[in-house]
Amino acid sequence: MKTFEFSIIASGFDSGSNYEDALFEAGCDDATLSFQKGVLIAEFDREAVSFSSAVASACLAVKTSGWKVERVEPDHLVSLSEIAERSKLSRQAISLYIKGERLAGFPSPAAKITSKHPLWDWQEVADWLYQQNHIDKEEVVRARIVKEANTYIESHDVAQDGFLRRLELCEAA
């Protein structure tokens, strides 16, 4: 077993009930809980055989406790600073990659393309950084799983049988 760190953002709990007990009883005893901007943030240090099973089991536990899972973080949209932090490279190096001054082929921004603060898809960036030998394969797999989890959560119930399978497929790729 390995310990995986990630967060789940959730909303919609019945305020008349004890949310801490409900989360604990559902199996979220490995999460630190906080509230920001009206949502629950459950920061997990979850032991599991794989990142996909850690994320899927935590999402199911949060849902079982009465919350609506909104998304898994770290988010798949990242700024230049977040790219540098996640890759353990300098902001200057990432800036040179983005401009094409160090290597060609860095992914285009996915959002806010014309603004001063564009955002990139972490999965695309992680794939590119892996090809350049700057990050390991495990980070690429985690990026795929988080993106797939959030895509699935947008249109499905995390309690459906297909959720874990979809995440496992990301890990197998």
Read off the DSSP letter of residue 116: S
3-state DSSP helix/strand/coil percent for the chain, to nearest 5? 45, 20, 30
CATH number of the domain that residue 15 is part of: 3.30.70
Query: Cα dist. 94→11, 73, 91, 138 in Å?
Result: 35, 22, 5, 20
Domain end position, chosen among 46, 73, 100: 73
Express each pLDDT in 86-131 by its tens digit.
999 999 999 999 999 988 999 999 988 777 889 999 999 999 999 9
Q: Is-contact 69 79, C-beta < 8 A? A: no
Same domain, 57 and 80: no
Burial of 28 (0-12, 13-18, 19+ CB in 10 A): buried
Token pair recorded at residue 91: 């902001």
Predicted TM-score of the model (pTM) = 0.85
Number of domains into which the chain is organized: 2
Express each pLDDT in 46-77 by its tens digit.
999 999 999 999 999 999 998 999 999 998 89
Domain end position, chosen among 50, 73, 96: 73
Place of tokens 């599991």: 48
- Give the residue numbers spanning the domain of 159: 75-173
Same domain, 55 and 88: no
Domain end position, chosen among 73, 107, 130: 73
